[in-house]
Structure 1
Amino acid sequence: MTDPVPAPMRARIQVELERISTEEGVRILLAAESGSRAWGFHSPDSD
């Protein structure tokens, strides 16, 4: 199985999650990307 998230984007996401965790003083247990735009299924009337 191939990883749907390219390595440079995965690294960028990890950096951002670590920044949020540090700034907010929280532990992020799960981060999920969801929605039609995220998966390329959006339409003209998508929100």
Structure 2
Amino acid sequence: KQGFGGLYKGMEAKLLQTVLTAALMFVAYEKISRFVFKILLAQRPVLR
């Protein structure tokens, strides 16, 4: 009944949710990968 206006009104909330979720997942991935990288470097033997 509401046409394109109703479609875009509903998409706004979903788009905001998607963007926030992607940003949160990106930050979590970066933090975890840096932590794992530090652990792997600490366990690696030093070659002289």
Q: TM-score range by the shorter chain?
A: 0.3 to 0.5
Q: Which has the higher contact order (CA 8 A, sep 6+)?
A: 1
Highest Rg: 1 or 2?
A: 2
Give the TM-score of the pair, scaled to structure 2: 0.42
- TM-score, with normalisation over the residues of structure 1? 0.42
**Between Structure 1 and Structure 2, which shows a larger proportion of helix residues?**
2
